[in-house]
Amino acid sequence: MFKKKDKLNKLSVEELEQILRIKQREARQERFLRLSSEGASTNMALLGGNDASPPASVATATASNAALMNGPQFFPLKAGRAAASPPENRSLRDKVLLAFEVGAVVGLVAVLLVSYLNLRDLNQEVVEARDLSRNRIALSQALVPQQSLKAADAQPQPFGEAQDNLIFDIGRLPGGHTPPTASGGAAPDIPAHLQNWVQPSPPAAIAIPKQEAAKATRIVIPKLNVDAPIIDGVSWEDLKKGVGHLPNSAHPGQRGNLYLAAHNDIFGEIFRYLDDLEPGDEYHIYAGEAKYTYVVREKRIIDPTEVSVMLPTTEPVATLQTCYPYLIDTHRLVVIGDLIE
């Protein structure tokens, strides 16, 4: 037995493989003869499967011989079989950066939410003030006879004499962001050393024509979907309530300059899209139930100190004014329309 094993161990791999092939061939021949004797067809005998396996001694000797002759061998792992190394934990630096990113996103969302809530509250205040002004106008129209309104407006007044007509006293158009209650008062749009040049004194005793029409109460601009009340005055607080009517300017339907101003941003967006009006567009101004239609003649962008647009005219016109550009308000946008009916 040991002699046989020693003899096998001395054989080379090629000799062992040749012996293995002889054994397999003899096993197939023996199987073919056995199946043929049992009545199986030739094809079945040939395809009966290869159940012959090398004897254990031959297989053992082959493996042993290969190990002795070739020494330890290392076989590469098949493609796709390499064991994946376990994922490394995220480093401290990555975690800190991720925390900063999440914090930045949360902070941005919080700022946007607070800004939205503040803007909503401001617009709600404007709507409430506008509704209150509209109710007061309706109540005054119901209680005060039309004749008393005409009588009150019959006396001509010079520029600068009315208490609310402060614009001519300081030589500036209405609008802007800084309230008069702020620290240091309203901030001018021009340097202090130039204010004496752009704040002229009001013209002396320019008589206003006799007021025969009723006061403006409402403005409708179909192209902009605007339907807003008109209130007397163009001061800081007045423009929060609606469209302001410059005191002592013309009334709807009259010869003269009917001057109206309104905000376009955070204190109310009534004239937000006034820039979309073009020559030929129409807008309607009401005096109670009476409706007056004006058609746009021109549109201009001017400096806040160009107060000539507020002066009286010999034709019946209606001037609409707001700040420009949006949320910057360094200039004024003016739309002038002629009365057509």
The answer to whether 245 and 215 have CB atoms below 8 angstroms apart is yes
pLDDT for the residue 294: 97
- My answer on whether 249 and 331 are in the same domain is yes
In DSSP notation, 80-137 reads T-SPPPPPPPPPHHHHHHHHHHHHHHHHHHHHHHHHHHHHHHHHHHHHHHHHHHHHHH
- My answer on whether 134 and 237 are in the same domain is yes
User: Does the pLDDT value for residue 96 go beyond 50?
Assistant: yes
The answer to whether 319 and 336 have CB atoms below 8 angstroms apart is yes
User: Does the pLDDT value for residue 196 go beyond 60?
Assistant: no
Identify the domain boundary among 17, 47, 70. 70
Q: What percent of the chain has pLDDT over 90?
A: 32
pLDDT for the residue 194: 52
| CA distances to 129, 201, 230, 324 from 304, in Å | 26, 16, 22, 10
pLDDT: which is higher, 133 or 318? 318
pLDDT for the residue 21: 87
Identify the domain boundary among 70, 87, 103. 70
- My answer on whether 133 and 266 are in the same domain is yes
The answer to whether 254 and 310 have CB atoms below 8 angstroms apart is no
Task: Determine if the pTM surpasses 0.85.
Answer: no
pLDDT for the residue 61: 47
Interval 233-289: pLDDT, tens:
988 788 888 899 999 999 999 999 999 999 888 777 899 999 999 999 999 999 999
Query: What are the beta bridge partners of residue 335?
Result: 299, 320
Residue 6 lies in a domain: yes
pLDDT: which is higher, 25 or 290? 290
Residue 84 lies in a domain: no
The answer to whether 236 and 179 have CB atoms below 8 angstroms apart is yes
pLDDT for the residue 210: 53
The answer to whether 332 and 304 have CB atoms below 8 angstroms apart is yes
- My answer on whether 59 and 132 are in the same domain is no
Interval 149-174: pLDDT, tens:
444 444 444 434 443 444 444 467 77
- My answer on whether 33 and 177 are in the same domain is no
Residue 109 lies in a domain: no
Strand (E) or helix (H) holding 5: helix 2-9
Average of per-residue pLDDT across 302-331: 92
- My answer on whether 249 and 146 are in the same domain is yes
Output the six-digit token pair for 179: 């309230």
How many domains does the chain divide into? 2
- My answer on whether 19 and 151 are in the same domain is no
The answer to whether 234 and 246 have CB atoms below 8 angstroms apart is yes
Residue 195 lies in a domain: no
Q: What is the CATH number of the domain that holds 161?
A: 2.40.260.10
- My answer on whether 312 and 163 are in the same domain is yes
Q: Identify the DSSP state of 223.
A: G
Task: Supply the range of the domain harboring residue 232.
Answer: 114-181+207-339
User: Does the pLDDT value for residue 40 go beyond 80?
Assistant: no
Residue 201 lies in a domain: no
d(CA 341, CA 321): 22
Average of per-residue pLDDT across 73-80: 45
pLDDT for the residue 119: 86
Average of per-residue pLDDT across 96-103: 89
Output the six-digit token pair for 221: 């601009």
Residue 66 lies in a domain: yes
- My answer on whether 300 and 241 are in the same domain is yes
Residue 34 lies in a domain: yes
- My answer on whether 57 and 141 are in the same domain is no
- My answer on whether 216 and 330 are in the same domain is yes
The highest-confidence range among 13-22, 39-48, 206-215, 311-320, by mean pLDDT, is 311-320
Residue 77 lies in a domain: no
Identify the domain boundary among 15, 42, 70. 70
- My answer on whether 66 and 123 are in the same domain is no
Least confident of 36-45, 102-111, 237-246, 329-338: 36-45
